Amino acid sequence: MTHKGPKFAPKIALYQPDIPQNTASIIRTCSCLGIMLEIIEPCGFVINDQKFKRVVMDYYDAKSVHFYRSSEDFFASKRNTRIILMTTKSKKSYKEFIFKQNDTVLFGRESLGVPTSVHKKVSHRLTIPMMNKKRSLNLSSSVSIVISKILNQINF
């Protein structure tokens, strides 16, 4: 099945991602579903890394991936935008949340999440509920789960 892309879709943002395979997988997912991806640098790898290239293949499109040099640049560009942070440090589930057209859904680093300063700058903090005693899902899986919810809300 092919499509022209969603009528609207919030953007997905990655805060200083540090695993190239996860980032490449997320680029592929966003590319296939017509979702804009934003990456807040510095990354924990080089975009020309072989592991990255092996996973991203020909799905990388500079028009659908935007890089920010720092979190300050990212937040400065989002002054009139809701930023929703996906975090394990929230009790509010993403399942009941209503996403809006201009939202940006932010995901933290695989190794460290985001610093407290970023937590303070976001509009909402949501979590993906998991079984007890489980720390977290893979970043790429988490992004896919949230994108699925968003696309379901807009009747994709």
Work out the pLDDT band at 10, boundaries 50, 70, 90: confident
Work out the pLDDT band at 93, boundaries 50, 70, 90: very high
pTM over 0.75: yes
Select from 57, 60, 26, 45 the least CA-distant residue to 111.
45
Q: Is residue 14 within 8 Å of residue 29, measured between CB atoms?
A: no
Q: Is residue 16 within 8 Å of residue 109, measured between CB atoms?
A: yes
Distance, CA of 19 to CA of 27 (rounded, Å): 13
Distance, CA of 71 to CA of 50 (rounded, Å): 26
Sequence ranges of the domains in the chain: 17-129+136-153
Which CATH architecture is the domain 17-129+136-153 placed in? 3-Layer(aba) Sandwich (3.40)
Q: What is the mean pLDDT of residues 96-110?
A: 93
Q: What is the mean pLDDT of residues 101-111?
A: 92
